[in-house]
Structure 1
Amino acid sequence: MGLPLNLTVKMGSYLLKQKLLRREKFPLIVEVEPLFACNLACAGCGKIQHPASVLKQRMPVEQAVAAVEESGAPMVSLAGGEPLMHPQIDEITRQLLKRGKFVVLCTNAVLLPKHIHKFKPHRNFAWMVHIDGLQERHDESVSKDGVFDQAVAAIKQAKAAGFQVYTNSTFFNNDSPQDIIEVLDYLNDELKVDRMQISPGYAYEKAPDQDRFLGVEQTRQLFKKAFGDGRRKKWRLNHSALYLDFLEGKQDFECTPWAIPSYSLKGWQKPCYLMADGYTETYQELLDTTEWDNYGRGKDARCDNCMAHCGYEPTAVLATMSSLRESIRAVTAG
């Protein structure tokens, strides 16, 4: 399905501006992590591996907003950790919306019912709830029973209150094509979430479980089978058609890590959200001091099996926008 119309227009205008200014590198989305603390301990994530002194820190509102403003990106992903543990996450959200940004707030949704009253529905705001499978599979992924039911109840509550609700599902080597089909059918047809984001499990180096990540060929076969029989077109997937082609092996792209940079309590992370090879104080410094040509498949072993959307969706978006045929396809097909 691709992006919602208002975001497509926003992105299109932004990309045209970058082209007119002849900028080679620029962010499409900024991922802001205003804290590392979380109320869960998922096996595929390592954020809570930070020292206790770091886990207690919370990014000031002004710092978060300034980083986004500095980058100039039209879209912001508020992540973590669990953003709803930040006492001023609602104010960060309001300030970004006030500045015309499209904001998605990524959450496991356990705390959403407690904090939903602090937010108001907005055409440029969406909850992004993590759902990594149906009940048993999701609860296994987050290492806690009952979280799937809590997330589903929170999604229903947010939808009933008039909010846009997206989901984010990460799949690993213990998932089958049928697992993907079942969870996406459920989210699409029964919960009727507005958009669904998917990604193959990426080898996040701090994750406590390093044996669940997919290889490139595994990823291609998994999604090729899951997308079969026209299912890909019926699901409200929050991706460009070219990125979905990439997942099932119909396209191959270079990674574009500078287009979805990550900003946290430590600064701008080199080179991307998945690898921490140092930090810079400014986005321009990130651009200028990172050896971008040293990263990507065949260049850095850590990149060899990565097909995560944070690296490859921007490449697909840029390829779509530079092709009239793909731009038309993005609007008319999935």
Structure 2
Amino acid sequence: MGIPLRQIARVGAYVARQHLAGRKRYPLVLMLEPLFRCNLACAGCGKIDYPDAILNKRISVEDALGSVDECGAPVVVMAGGEPLLHKELPKIVEGVIARRKFAIVCTNALLLEKKIDQYKPSPYFTWSIHLDGDQEMHDKSVCQSGVYDRAVAALKLAKAKGFRVTINCTFFNDADGARVAAFFDTVTALGVDGITVSPGYAYERAPDQKHFLNRAATKELFRSIFRRGDGGRKWAFNQSGMFLDFLAGNQAYHCTPWGNPTRTVFGWQRPCYLLGEGYAATFKELMEGTDWDAYGVGNYEKCADCMVHSGFEASAVRDTVAKPWKALGVALRGVRTEGPMAPEITLDRQRQAEFVFQRNVTQKLSEIRKAEAEEKARKAANAA
């Protein structure tokens, strides 16, 4: 089983309470990005294309834990950038665990051997190591040789020290189903506790724009993978069965971006983990002030090919709670890999993409410089 029973029970109870309370929108997983800086430059990543003044910014421990409290989601995923570059990440993780939230640190693992003794195993803590396939696939994905071997060595070390360890995989249009299935066999033999999978999202700032999957290709790829693993039951996934069924084209979900709200050094990111079209000062402002209907497949051009877990896992969980017999069927039979697919969402009425990245960066740089000038003036006044 990819998801621990403790987590299933606590998250399930949380979701049930939201449904009983009649809440239409609620967070499931807080995506906390305490920094944007990374020690890799992956061709398919659009998360780190910022000036140094922004890459040098960090969310403080106080602000990070304040965001955890403000949001209230039962799971907190710390990503980036590379979160292990944040010197106070151990304190953030400790604070999340102390709140009985499930803390997951997504890392490329290059610093894990050096930093691992700053953390303690806990049923509320998971390392999620980035591996986009076998050695050749992963090193190509991260644009640096030797990274796969270092990540696997770190994975083995973390397991030896008693940590729960999963992997997160992003696949592009050059992925081969048979090869991915063989990779899943390999990491399963290594003892990983779960696998998180996702098709790559077409970040507008990613250096490589040629290898992103469209929705049709995504469904065919995951059918090809799952049919080689007993409908996916051969491997332990750290995701709901209904989301895996969605990846294979058997469910037609609309995204629920509020299910994975994102907090960055800029504030609460609108509308989702993948798109930074604006920022809110508070979680309440994000939830109540975002025009959610302006985004999603069929509504916005940038969302047209998205099937990423950060947008659709919460949709799958909601469906699981509302119709548990569907989820039971997938669990018993596996993901269906043959036959007709669910109808696709029409794109006829989607609005055109807006490109606001540079405007947001300019605004944030202005705010940073203003704050630095005020701090300099304050220090000068105190010294006088």
TM-score w.r.t. the length of structure 1 is 0.97
Q: Using the TM superposition, give the Cα deviation of residue 84 of structure 1 relative to its aligned residue in structure 2, in angstroms.
A: 0.5
Deviation above 3 Å: which 4+ runs of structure 1? Answer: 326-334
Q: Using the TM superposition, give the Cα deviation of residue 205 of structure 1 relative to its aligned residue in structure 2, in angstroms.
A: 2.1
Q: Which residue of 2 aligns with 1:104?
A: 104
Distance 1:333 1:266 in 2: 44
Distance 2:325 2:252 in 1: 18
Q: Deviations over 1:98-129 (max 9, x none)?
A: 01100100000000000000000000100000
Distance 1:246 1:18 in 2: 23
Read off the aligned partner of 1:216 and give its amino acid letter: R
Q: Which residue of 2 aligns with 1:18?
A: 18
Q: Which residue of 1 aligns with 2:143?
A: 143
1:220 aligns with 2:219: yes
1:93 aligns with 2:93: yes
Q: Using the TM superposition, give the Cα deviation of residue 333 of structure 1 relative to its aligned residue in structure 2, in angstroms.
A: 6.4
SS in 1 for 2:104: strand
Q: Deviations over 1:153-208 (max 9, x none)?
A: 000000000000010000000111122112111111x2120000000111122211
CA contact (8 A) 2:242 2:327 kept: no
Matches within 5 A, 1:45-124: 45-124=45-124
Distance 2:196 2:333 in 1: 17
Q: Which residue of 1 aligns with 2:238?
A: 238
Q: Deviations over 1:40-91 (max 9, x none)?
A: 0011112221110111111110100000110110000000100100001001
CA contact (8 A) 2:16 2:321 kept: no
Q: Which residue of 2 aligns with 1:3?
A: 3
Q: Which residue of 2 aligns with 1:198?
A: 197
Q: Using the TM superposition, give the Cα deviation of residue 16 of structure 1 relative to its aligned residue in structure 2, in angstroms.
A: 2.0
Distance 2:323 2:220 in 1: 27
Q: Which residue of 1 aligns with 2:279?
A: 279
Distance 2:204 2:124 in 1: 32
Read off the aligned partner of 1:280 and give its amino acid letter: A
Distance 1:19 1:233 in 2: 29
Q: Which residue of 1 aligns with 2:252?
A: 252
CA contact (8 A) 2:2 2:193 kept: no
SS in 1 for 2:254: coil
Larger RCO, structures 1/2 (Cα 8 Å, 6+ apart)? 1
Q: Would the alpha carbon gap of residues 28 and 247 (structure 1) be closer, same or farther in structure 2, given more than 3 Å must change?
A: same
Distance 2:333 2:284 in 1: 36
Q: Which residue of 1 aligns with 2:182?
A: 182
Read off the aligned partner of 1:192 and give its amino acid letter: G
Q: Would the alpha carbon gap of residues 311 and 105 (structure 1) be closer, same or farther in structure 2, given more than 3 Å must change?
A: same
| Identity percentage of aligned residues | 46
Q: Give aligned pairs, total.
A: 333
SS in 1 for 2:233: helix
Distance 1:204 1:68 in 2: 26
Q: Using the TM superposition, give the Cα deviation of residue 330 of structure 1 relative to its aligned residue in structure 2, in angstroms.
A: 7.0
Distance 2:191 2:237 in 1: 12
Task: Structure 2: state its 5+ residue gaps.
Answer: 335-384
Query: Comparing 43-52 with 168-177, which one deviates more in the overlay?
Result: 43-52
CA contact (8 A) 1:257 1:272 kept: yes
Task: Structure 1: state its 5+ residue gaps.
Answer: none
Matches within 5 A, 1:144-159: 144-159=144-159
Larger-gyration structure (1/2): 2
CA contact (8 A) 1:201 1:213 kept: yes
1:302 aligns with 2:302: yes
Q: Using the TM superposition, give the Cα deviation of residue 147 of structure 1 relative to its aligned residue in structure 2, in angstroms.
A: 0.4
Distance 1:197 1:39 in 2: 22
Q: Which residue of 1 aligns with 2:270?
A: 270
TM-score w.r.t. the length of structure 2 is 0.84
Read off the aligned partner of 1:152 and give its amino acid letter: V
Distance 1:165 1:330 in 2: 25
Distance 1:246 1:132 in 2: 20
Q: Using the TM superposition, give the Cα deviation of residue 21 of structure 1 relative to its aligned residue in structure 2, in angstroms.
A: 2.3
Aligned residues: CA RMSD? 1.3
Read off the aligned partner of 1:267 and give its amino acid letter: G
Distance 2:328 2:65 in 1: 34
